[in-house]
Amino acid sequence: MQFKSFFYGLLILSFIACKEDKKVIKQTEVTFKKEGELTIHKIKTDSSTVTLDIEIADTDFDVQTGLMYRNSMETNQGMLFVFDDVSHRSFYMRNTKIPLDIIFIDENKSIVSFQKNAKPFDESSLPSNAPAKYVLEINAGLADTWNLSVGDSIQFSY
């Protein structure tokens, strides 16, 4: 009987210890990984506006994840989404912590539309206003700071 009482006591103590041993799950921040460079050319001045380090999203996983789970991005960084086809695109900000400007670019690498100042965690649809093959995400406000406009073009390598 003493062994049985000891066993039950041990079982209860281990159960209580397990309940108090709470596991803390720490989310890992995703960091920027330079995979190429992109230059934006102004149509009106025919000069380079800015050169960015870019991360490429060209797989299903990368396209679905985008800039989610990031705490920040430098001014000279962006993410370029590369699609196989030209189509109307729609993005959202699920699990995206930083505000973004979303730039839609056609197959000729010309800017066709913008979604500026996309709000963090907003799941509203942010569509292109024209078919696009590429999409560039940069920090919110930079499209205006750099005076980007429809018709400006990009050039990139990776």
User: What is the DSSP track for 133-158?
Assistant: EEEEEEETTHHHHTT--TT-EEEEE-
Written as tens digits, the pLDDT of the chain (158 aa) is 554 555 455 445 555 555 555 666 666 678 899 999 999 998 877 676 799 999 999 999 999 999 999 999 999 999 999 999 999 999 999 999 999 999 999 999 999 999 999 999 999 999 999 999 999 999 999 999 999 999 999 999 99
Q: What are the residue boundaries of the structural domains of the chain, listed by start?
A: 25-157
| Full-model pTM | 0.82
Tell me if the domain spanning 25-157 has CATH number 2.60.120.1140. Answer: yes
